Amino acid sequence: MMRNAPEENIKNCFHCGAPSGEMPISHDGKVFCCNGCKAVYEILRGKQLYRYYDFGEHPGVTPSISTNAKFAFLDEPNVNKKLIDFSEDGIVVVSLRIPQMHCSSCIWLLENLHNLHKGIFYSRVDFLKKRLLIKFVENKISFRQVVELISSIGYEPELGLKESDSSHRTKVERSFYLKIGVAAFCFGNIMLFSLPEYLSSSTIDISSRTLFGYINLLLSFPVVFFSGMIFFISAINGLRSKAINIDVPIALGIAIVFLRSAVDVLLQTGPGYFDSLSGLVFFLLIGRLFQNKTYDNLNFERKYQAYFPLAVSVRRNGNDTTIPITLIRPGERMIIRNNEIVPADSVLMTGIANIDYSFVTGESKPSVKSVGDLIYAGGKHLGSVIQLEAIKEVSESEFIQLWNEFGAIDKIKSRLLTLSTTIGKYFTFGILLIALSTAFAWWLIDPGKILDSVTAILIIACPCALALAAPFVFGTTLRLFGKKGFYLKHSSVVEALSKTDMIVFDKTGTITHTERTSIRFNGNSLSKEQRIQVASLARSSTHPLSRSIYDCLQVRDISEVTNFEEVEAAGICARVGGAKVQLGSASFVGAKSPDNNIKQTSVYAAVDGNILGRFEFENVYRDRLEEVLGNLNTSHSISLLSGDDDGEREKLKEIFPNFSEMQFNQSPSDKLSYIKSLQSKNRNVIMIGDGLNDAGALWQSDVAIAVTEDVSSFSPACDGILNAYAFNDLDRFIRFASTAKLVVYWSFVISFIYNIIGLYFAMRGELSPILAAILMPLSSISVVIFSTFVTQYLAKRKGLL
């Protein structure tokens, strides 16, 4: 239910909390400071968004008074192009910076914009970056109307060139350093003015003591209300969200010392504790700075443009080659095959493209593009080979943002990280209870020790060490994995890996080499025209066998491919130079059933219904495959799913552990159903495939890993990408995930031991507040150093360094 209070008891605006002034506006039994706040309240009430006011007292932001003409410039097409991230078939995606968002109520309201207007069907907040991603239907609401709607409820966006994360980070760091500088200046001067008190407190005259006391009081104001304000803001925001975070006891300790010292000076009963207060804030800020720097230096936060092993085929000097997508530059001619994702905004140069933008919009509706049309990054091409010319570089704010957005609904429930948060919350409650009990005990024994003891308890207790343990261990593991060629989407995947008990492998391109496959054509010798026809068709597919056939034929003159069609787990067909060309299984091309004595994987070729023969593959399995599977089988059950025939079943039985289940001729829907059946039996499943062909099974699995060579065998549904050269270490990666979980528990134990020892001395009154302020951040740093060092040491012991 929405809050409701009698009008006479309300002194502040019901919506934003500002003073209502001498002429408040009364409406619906509530008081508002201006017509803007009243209008927002009426909008939210009319749209049944009452829950907005449940998130805190006065959660709103006073809307700016804007005229309709203010945003008229957004109707200009040239302006829209610079501000809009994506626009296709009436679906528009835009990312806006909203500096006014400040609490959970803001997040809730901004993510419920679809309830304010039917034209908006999706909105998602990135609170740390103060950004709002909006998807809307252009024929129902214009970009200008979207901005006006957001502004009308108090969240006017900053419109202009997008500032880089680095520049924003620089501003934040500059402000933080300023706070440290002010605290250091005041700390030094307070110590200076307290020097007579230290040296000769019994002989100093009363007037000098009073003067120095007032000077120290004045110097403490910027320490508390500027430098120390970050602790108060964090604590208040937590309380408004009905949560007690780790800054609550710190803010309480600062407030107690300040108030007690101010009373001493104003009543002239003592010099106060301003030196301890300023030193406390200074050392807390220094400690937080070291924590942040240590966190940044570990660099385990996802910087995917540095980690991506993805590559795209490009045409250079008449030849096809591959380059990492991070090296794409404007003017680069890219070759996109069936089922490949466009990595950068481009212009179509040859062919007809069928682009599926479900990766961006969530709606699978292919859009037909002709030569000269613009194609946005993130679209998946369905059809024969096309050539695109890049007009932008791949950047974190575009293609990588799409990758992140695809995984916005996180399927991984991070129990250990939740455990850290839960422990931290109850830990804080416990600390407050201990502080009250200690105050009561000293009130009975020696009231003069209450202030120092309670303050030391509030400062020395360090739930932040508990909160840092899990993310630092898993983050360090993520970074170490990345160095070895295993790139995870986020650090919680490490924890998810530690909980799995079943591994499902795809075959071709996953456990087999795509570049070391032996191919033999069994049939009549192919003519030059037939070779061109077959090679042109094979070039259009991303399947590893198709790529191997194309490489084997070594054809430079490629014919135009039209009416391309790919039937999953069967084959591909198209018209090449007027002829119908087919590649696939015997049943797909209309050939006789293969001889049961054939033990190789075979792909049949046909032109206009005439069977040309079959390509026989002698697959080369990855190095250490049998050893890797054997090691994994000690902790996981193993199974194999393949869309190919069972020609190599007997050979695979020799490689896979006994009792491993193997299923062949599996379509993508069959693989998806198999994963679901395992999960229905309470199995935690890792699916390891080669990319887009396994997208359904990858998305359904608990942890999805895509194996990639030097081409774009990438799926947005996967949680990690494994470079082919790192496949040999797959067993080490999965086993080390369990080791990382143990390190988290060890870090928890160390943190608890530290807090028990610190609290013991603080409760006895043997620990000063300023010493507690020095020890508190040191404990957090020690936990970080321990978790990082032990994780790296164990990784080296297990061959991952």
Question: Would you say residue 79 has pLDDT above 90?
Answer: no
In this prediction, residue 630 carries a pLDDT of 92
Looking at per-residue confidence, does 230 or 684 come out higher? 684
Contact yes or no for 114/121 (Cβ under 8 A): yes
Task: Specify the range with the lowest mean pLDDT, choosing from 39-43, 618-622, 636-640, 725-729.
Answer: 39-43
In this prediction, residue 723 carries a pLDDT of 85
Q: Treating both helix axes as pointing N-terminal to C-terminal, what angle do 247-266 and 415-445 enclose, rounded to 10 degrees?
A: 30
Q: Which residues have a Cβ under 8 Å from the Cβ of 331 and sit 6 or more positions away?
A: 389, 390
Question: Would you say residue 519 has pLDDT above 60?
Answer: yes
Residue the block writes with tokens 């410039």: 73
Residue the block writes with tokens 């192009």: 81
In this prediction, residue 462 carries a pLDDT of 58
Please tell me which of 45-54, 80-89, 605-614 the model is most confident about, judged by mean pLDDT: 605-614
Task: Specify the range with the lowest mean pLDDT, choosing from 88-102, 196-210, 391-405, 408-422.
Answer: 408-422
C-alpha span between 202 and 219 (Å, rounded): 24
Task: Specify the range with the lowest mean pLDDT, choosing from 57-71, 150-164, 178-192, 233-247.
Answer: 57-71
Question: Would you say residue 300 has pLDDT above 50?
Answer: no
Contact yes or no for 500/703 (Cβ under 8 A): yes
C-alpha span between 466 and 521 (Å, rounded): 62
* DSSP reduced 3-state for 8: helix
Instruction: Fill in the amino acid letter for 639.
Output: S
Contact yes or no for 209/197 (Cβ under 8 A): yes
Residue the block writes with tokens 């030097």: 710
Looking at per-residue confidence, does 662 or 6 come out higher? 662
In this prediction, residue 493 carries a pLDDT of 85
Structure tokens at 272: 């106060």
In this prediction, residue 102 carries a pLDDT of 65
Percent of the chain whose predicted confidence (pLDDT) is above 90: 16
Question: How long a stretch of residues is the chain?
Answer: 801
Give the model's confidence band at 50: pLDDT under 50 very low, under 70 low, under 90 confident, else very high. Answer: low
In this prediction, residue 407 carries a pLDDT of 47
The dihedrals phi and psi of 723, each to the nearest 5 degrees, come to -65, 140
Taking the CA atoms of 496, 500, 502 and 507 in sequence, report the sign of the dihedral they define.
Answer: positive
Residue 579's Cβ-side half-sphere holds a number of Cα atoms within 13 Å equal to: 18
Q: Which of 412, 303, 503 is nearest to 719 (CA)?
A: 412
Mean pLDDT of 620-645: 89
Secondary structure percentages of the chain, helix, strand, coil, to 5: 50, 20, 35
Task: Specify the range with the lowest mean pLDDT, choosing from 17-21, 137-141, 212-216, 547-551.
Answer: 17-21
Mean pLDDT over the full length of the chain: 78
DSSP per position, 427-474: HHHHHHHHHHHHHHHHHHH-GGGHHHHHHHHHHH--HHHHHHHHHHHH
Question: Would you say residue 412 has pLDDT above 70?
Answer: no
Contact yes or no for 341/716 (Cβ under 8 A): yes
In this prediction, residue 251 carries a pLDDT of 79
- Residue 132's DSSP bridge partners are 96, 125
H or E element, residue 133? strand 131-137
Give the model's confidence band at 103: pLDDT under 50 very low, under 70 low, under 90 confident, else very high. Answer: low
Question: Would you say residue 611 has pLDDT above 70?
Answer: yes
Question: Would you say residue 691 has pLDDT above 90?
Answer: no
Question: Would you say residue 309 has pLDDT above 60?
Answer: no
The answer to pTM > 0.95 is no
Task: Specify the range with the lowest mean pLDDT, choosing from 346-360, 590-604, 624-638, 752-766.
Answer: 590-604
CATH superfamily of domain region 483-513+622-738: HAD superfamily/HAD-like (3.40.50.1000)
Give the model's confidence band at 72: pLDDT under 50 very low, under 70 low, under 90 confident, else very high. Answer: confident
The ranges assigned to domains in the chain are 6-43, 68-152, 168-294+419-472+739-797, 309-394, 483-513+622-738, 518-618
Q: What is the pLDDT of residues 314-324, one digit of tens each?
A: 888 777 777 77
State the CATH architecture for 68-152: 2-Layer Sandwich (3.30)
Task: Specify the range with the lowest mean pLDDT, choosing from 273-287, 303-317, 504-518, 674-688.
Answer: 303-317
Q: Which of 63, 74, 90 is nearest to 144 (CA)?
A: 74
In this prediction, residue 222 carries a pLDDT of 94
Q: Which fold has domain 309-394?
A: 2.70.150
Percent of the chain whose predicted confidence (pLDDT) is above 70: 77
Q: Is 3.50.50.60 the CATH classification of the domain at 518-618?
A: no
Pairing, β 374-375 against β 367-369: unpaired
In this prediction, residue 675 carries a pLDDT of 93
C-alpha span between 688 and 701 (Å, rounded): 9
Question: Would you say residue 674 has pLDDT above 90?
Answer: yes
Structure tokens at 591: 């050939």
Q: What is the CA radius of gyration of the chain?
A: 32
In this prediction, residue 608 carries a pLDDT of 93
Give the model's confidence band at 325: pLDDT under 50 very low, under 70 low, under 90 confident, else very high. Answer: confident
In this prediction, residue 10 carries a pLDDT of 46
Distance of CA 657 to CAs 618, 634, 660, 735, Å? 21, 10, 6, 18
Mean pLDDT of 393-408: 56
Mean pLDDT of 345-355: 87
Question: Would you say residue 772 has pLDDT above 70?
Answer: no
Give the model's confidence band at 8: pLDDT under 50 very low, under 70 low, under 90 confident, else very high. Answer: very low
Question: Would you say residue 280 has pLDDT above 80?
Answer: no
C-alpha span between 603 and 534 (Å, rounded): 12
Task: Specify the range with the lowest mean pLDDT, choosing from 115-124, 288-297, 425-434.
Answer: 288-297
Structure tokens at 707: 């194996």
